């Protein structure tokens, strides 16, 4: 068990080193001016090792996407009596922010900028967003079959993801946005909750 845990920590450190190296190179040389070989060299790994962590340059700009989807599904699975569908989505955002500051990081700022300027990054981001929306909506509809059909679940999750993305775009543009990641995350959660308020439980 200890050996497995050590291996996982080492793998996570290598993964983060790849992301950090890529962000630095993208900032200094541009996205198109940076190759996977450049990133691997900066992270002190081989190119083959890079591909054991990420499938492409675009992929490493979304390092926690899968983890956030898994976390959202876990929140839905652990719902409590009286929870509304929207409550679970807001709770998933809160839990994600408590476990990581990635959404309020230099990587997030760079990702937003590249989504606006690099078609390959924009396309990958859109695909990941649509896949996440569909997967979360499927689990949400299954959890509330008497209240949501597939279309309604898709609309609600789409509104949630749109609120998070829209808020983050504006918040990251503010001067000093990354000075206090926890404060930025708190503001993002507040405005997302406000956007979903009509669908939240009375308790909120």
**Nearest one of 106, 102, 53, 95 to 70, comparing CA atoms:** 95
pLDDT in tens, 14-66: 999 999 999 999 999 999 999 999 999 999 999 999 999 999 999 999 999 99
pLDDT in tens, 64-107: 999 999 999 999 999 999 999 999 999 999 998 888 888 888 89
**Nearest one of 183, 60, 81 to 128, comparing CA atoms:** 60
Tokens of 136: 């979360």
CATH code of the region 2-54: 1.10.10.60
CATH superfamily, domain 62-199, is Tetracycline Repressor, domain 2 (1.10.357.10)
pLDDT of 71: 93
- Is the predicted pLDDT of residue 4 greater than 70, yes or no? no
pLDDT of 204: 47
pLDDT in tens, 103-121: 888 899 999 999 999 999 9
The burial of 2, by beta-carbon neighbours within 10 Å (0-12 exposed, 13-18 middle, 19 or more buried), is given as exposed
130/144 Cα distance (integer angstroms): 21
Among 77-86, 155-164, 172-181, which stretch is predicted with the lowest mean pLDDT?
172-181
- Examine domains 2-54 and 62-199 and report if their fold is the same: no
Q: Where are the domains of the chain?
A: 2-54, 62-199
């Amino acid at each position: 068990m200890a050996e497995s845990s050590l291996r996982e920590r080492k793998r996570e450190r290598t993964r983060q080193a790849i992301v950090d190296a890529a962000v630095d190179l993208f900032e200094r040389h541009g996205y198109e001016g940076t190759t996977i070989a450049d990133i691997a060299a900066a992270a002190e790994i081989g190119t083959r090792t890079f591909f054991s962590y990420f499938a492409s340059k675009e992929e490493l700009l979304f390092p926690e996407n899968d983890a956030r989807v898994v976390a959202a599904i876990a929140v839905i699975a652990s719902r409590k009596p009286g929870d509304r569908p929207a409550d679970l989505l807001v709770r998933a955002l809160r839990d994600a922010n408590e476990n990581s500051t990635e959404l309020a990081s230099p990587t997030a700022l760079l990702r937003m900028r590249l989504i606006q300027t690099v078609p390959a990054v924009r396309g990958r981001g859109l695909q990941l967003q649509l896949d996440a929306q569909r997967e979360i909506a499927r689990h949400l509809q299954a959890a509330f079959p008497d209240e949501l059909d597939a279309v309604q679940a898709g609309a609600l999750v789409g509104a949630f993801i749109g609120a998070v993305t829209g808020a983050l775009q504006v918040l990251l543009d503010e001067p000093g946005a990354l000075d206090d990641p926890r404060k930025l995350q708190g503001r993002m959660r507040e405005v997302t909750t406000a956007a979903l308020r009509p669908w939240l439980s009375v308790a909120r």
